[in-house]
Structure 1
Amino acid sequence: MQTPPEGSSRTGTQSIERVVGMLRVVASRGRGGMRIAEVAVTSGLPQSTCFRMLQRLEMEGLVSREAHTRKYFLGPLLHELGLLARPRYRLSELCDGALHRLADVTQDTVYLSERSGMEAVCTNRALGDYPIKAMALDIGIRRPLGVGAGGLAILCRMHEAEAEAIIAANGHRYEKFAGFTADFLRDAVARGRTQGYSFLDSALTPGTAAVGMAFPAGNPVGAFSIAAISSRLTVDRRAEIARELAQQVRKIEGAMSSAGGIAG
């Protein structure tokens, strides 16, 4: 076996990082897809580089391109590989009942966000009966931790040093979301730790607010968030919702600790 040239290992690692980064960028719009110009802006890479990478990823089935809209989407190979993947917890299934109970009680839109490295991914949601719905997230949308009440709640329940490291590392990414900065999130995390839940009002969508709570403490892997028009989330109602969230979070934490049954 030939010895790899010095530096080739690092070069290969960088290539993998770029590919994974590109897939994360395409996935960041969920099922909405992205045009090449949007991919370049989001990734920070030259458009010509993005085009070459996406061409190759399309050949491998990792992305697909819609001819009419010229948008890129995650490809069929990822779906096929995903069918074989066995997550440690099928968290979406475990939390489905809690999501619907929260939607019934609050009548608002309830989301489940799961941590994925320095990001949060929306993996499930339930709709309440209130006629005006806050539909800020589609299933599959991923954002840097802190952007959205679910991701913010996850930061709030982390150890302080870990949360600070993630905020610092994501600093440049927050700038793509109006109103979000590292300092804004540090303040929001501090408030969330004090009150026991995260809260954002008109941070992403004017007139829409959300309350979130993550689980389990210390090493949060997921969070529930309840979104509504801002006028529905008064101080008193936020306290009521926080109590409902805490009740469901305790049940999920108990199920996770006693039922490694969902473990892969």
Structure 2
Amino acid sequence: MSENVPGAQAVSRALRVLRAVARTRSAGINLAQLVRDTELNKPTAHRLLLALIAEGMVEQDPQSLRYFIGRECYVLGGIASERFGLGREAADVVARLARASGDSAFFSIRSDVFAVCVLREDGDYPLKTHVLQPGTRHPLGVGAGSLAMLAALDDEEVDRCLKENENLLRKSYPNFSTSFLRREVALTRERGFSVNEGLVVSGSWGVAAAVHSPSGEVVGALTIAAVESRLQVDRQHELGRLLVEEAKRLESHLARASAMRPEPKAKRARGS
């Protein structure tokens, strides 16, 4: 957000607080943890929390005093789900992937230069990876789903994303330099799916395929993640093919939903 826009810093900080609350899901977050996670000072964090509570975006439990995502976020999420045409179909695809693989399956969406996990479903294999949870947010390229999205963009957009995230990658993701991610983009395009070999958290591997909107924009990615022993090369290709098939199925659903959506009424000409 541009620093020249009046109030931009306050909005940016409020969203930082809201995302920190959302990441904790049903566990909630206390003020001290929120201050650490957002790197805001305590008075600022508390003031922003009160503003978000007033708008229904955050709620505070009166017993534990922990903060949780509010009902208004649920309302907005439902509207966004209708707008992007994902909803139940994406959840069904993720559940199907978890059943077929026995491992954990995910759906992440693109948020400009970031990827945000929104759905997770666990299969029946007893040993699981817990790195990615709904609300987890990484720069594009970090993690299998995030890399699948980055690789599906055109070269100019890849360059923009890497440039905007360069400082964050250097500070917080030492395994993910821009030069490394350019090589991974090329490999992902060659394979047709992405692979993360434990670079976010050691021992937690993932395979993913990008999902496009009817207009061709990258809207998200489907991922299967497992412990290292479950994702050796042969199985990477097996699951990669499955993910690509399911991504195409989801894209077909989005195309049908878009075709059924009523066209906006044209504005009446003045004087008619």
TM tier relative to shorter chain: 0.7 to 0.9
Q: Give the direction of change, closer, same or farther, for the CA distance of 1:248–1:160 in structure 2 (3 Å limit).
A: same
Aligned to 1:194: 190
The more displaced of 127-136 and 66-75 is 66-75
* Structure 2 residue 56 is the aligned partner of structure 1 residue 58: no
- Partner letter of residue 21 of structure 1? R
- Structure 1, gaps ≥5 residues long: 1-8
Aligned to 2:222: 224
Map Cα deviations across residues 189-211 of structure 1 (whole Å, 9 max, x no partner).
23222322111122233212000
Aligned to 1:159: 154
Identical aligned residues as a percent: 34
Matched residues, number: 256
Normalised by the length of structure 2, the TM-score is 0.79
The more displaced of 229-238 and 211-220 is 211-220
For 2:93 and 2:80, the matched residues in 1 are separated by: 24
Q: Give the direction of change, closer, same or farther, for the CA distance of 1:145–1:115 in structure 2 (3 Å limit).
A: same
Aligned to 1:6: none
Normalised by the length of structure 1, the TM-score is 0.81
* Structure 2 residue 119 is the aligned partner of structure 1 residue 124: yes
Q: Give the direction of change, closer, same or farther, for the CA distance of 1:188–1:108 in structure 2 (3 Å limit).
A: same
* Structure 2 residue 207 is the aligned partner of structure 1 residue 211: yes
Check the 8 A contact 2:110/2:116 in 1, yes or no: yes
Q: Which has the higher contact order (CA 8 A, sep 6+)?
A: 1
Query: 1:151: how far off?
Result: 1.5
Aligned to 1:74: 69
Map Cα deviations across residues 98-143 of structure 1 (whole Å, 9 max, x no partner).
3333233322211111222333222223332322222333334333
Question: Which of 241, 244, 260 pairs up with 2:242?
Answer: 244
**Cα root mean square deviation, aligned:** 2.9
Aligned partner of residue 244 in structure 2, secondary structure: helix
- Partner letter of residue 244 of structure 2? A
Query: 1:155: how far off?
Result: 0.8
Aligned to 1:5: none
For 2:246 and 2:155, the matched residues in 1 are separated by: 24
- Structure 2, gaps ≥5 residues long: 263-272
